[in-house]
Structure 1
Amino acid sequence: MRQPYYDSILLIERLHRHFLEVLKIELDRLGMQDINNVQSLILYNIGDDELTVGELTARGYYLGSNVSYNVKKMHENGYLTQERSTHDRRSVRVRLSDKGLKLRDRISELFSRQVDALDKSGLSAEELTRANETMRTLERFWTSSLSYGAYASSGPL
């Protein structure tokens, strides 16, 4: 079990890096140099919603300080609009600007092309569903490990 578990950890990380590289190539193809792949993924995940940085962090599982920096850069480059909450002046809500919405639509088109290509590659929706179920089980395992310390080491590293 140790080796398959370790292999899964490495594969998840590698898949994420490959996906970010796919986004980078698409941004390069579109001639967009004022946003990076991580920012474009955050932008895509905001979608039509209006969120605080905290909500975005909770929803997308991004690191808070990185989200704050990336939100600031996307705002500076015109992809996001920001508005202070009327109820809590410390809280800033962000949403996509017209420029952000256009990029979100382009990323959505990329995903559609990828889905079509996956369909033709022989990878079925059922296989992806099973893989997602396995990853969700692993996510629940890691979440419970964090929440309860149930699997914490018995001593110092």
Structure 2
Amino acid sequence: MQKLLREGVEVETSIDGYDAADFPEITAEKQGHRHPVHTVVVTHFELARMIERVNRRFASLLRTEMTKLGIEDVGPAQAMVLMAIGDVELSVGELLDRGHYVGSNISYYLKQLADGGYIDRVASQRDKRSARIRLTEKGEQLCANLRNAGGAYNRVLARDADDLRNLEIAFQTLHRLELVWGNAARYGI
């Protein structure tokens, strides 16, 4: 991981989902040599850019699915907040720990979700200044609909055991990046 953050690593990538093997005329595979279609030096900056692009693509996908469901009063960011809340009751602080929200953004998102009837805000029994948040039936239904829609994408991504293992590795790698970058931001390298 340290090498990855300091030096970068060359990886073979594909273009638009096609592998170099899909284009034998542009590879030297017939001569026993295989040249990658595209080589990228992976640095922590490239990883961050990729994560941002993937996040934008996912937000676009969520927006499309929500449009199909007839949901127009909240957007993908608010839907992700609902998914982060899940089936538990939690505080705003706990919600902040579950996602990548800025404090002012989460307040705005929660207001929209409460106004739309997707969440209930209940004063904490211990500290009346603090609110607990939970999904309403409407919020639970939207989450269930989005999970159902996501099933088709899961089947595309995980067609077999190798695909499933690759997704697990990607998740573990992203989790390690989160820990390394978070600790580096707090404590330095």
TM-score (norm 2): 0.74
Alignment of 1:131-150 (within 5 A): 131-150=170-189
| Number of equivalent positions | 150
What are structure 1's unaligned runs of at least 5 residues? Answer: 151-157
SS of equivalent to 1:10 = helix
Question: Contact 2:158 / 2:167 at 8 angstroms: preserved in 1?
Answer: no
Q: For 1:100 and 1:136, how far apart are their aligned partners in 2?
A: 27
Instruction: Give the structure with the higher percent helix.
Output: 1
Query: Amino acid of the residue matched to residue 104 of structure 1?
Result: C
Question: Could you tell me which residue of structure 2 aligns to residue 154 of structure 1?
Answer: none
Question: Could you tell me which residue of structure 2 aligns to residue 26 of structure 1?
Answer: 65
Question: Could you tell me which residue of structure 2 aligns to residue 153 of structure 1?
Answer: none
- Residue 150 (structure 2) aligned to one of 111, 114, 130: 111
Percent identity reads 34
TM superposition outliers: structure 1 runs of 4+ over 4 Å? none
Query: Does residue 46 of structure 2 align to residue 4 of structure 1?
Result: no
Shift of 1:122: 9.1
Q: RCO (CA 8 Å, sep 6+): is it higher in 1 or 2?
A: 1
Q: For 2:120 and 2:156, how far apart are their aligned partners in 1?
A: 34
Question: Could you tell me which residue of structure 1 aligns to residue 80 of structure 2?
Answer: 41
Q: For 1:137 and 1:49, how far apart are their aligned partners in 2?
A: 26
Query: Does residue 110 of structure 2 align to residue 88 of structure 1?
Result: no
TM-score (norm 1): 0.89
What are structure 2's unaligned runs of at least 5 residues? Answer: 1-6, 9-40
Shift of 1:91: 0.4
What's the RMSD between the two structures over aligned residues?
A: 1.7
Question: Contact 1:44 / 1:107 at 8 angstroms: preserved in 2?
Answer: no
From the superposition, tell whether residues 77 and 127 of structure 1 become closer, same or farther in structure 2 (CA, over 3 Å): same
Question: Could you tell me which residue of structure 2 aligns to residue 72 of structure 1?
Answer: 111
Question: Contact 1:49 / 1:95 at 8 angstroms: preserved in 2?
Answer: yes
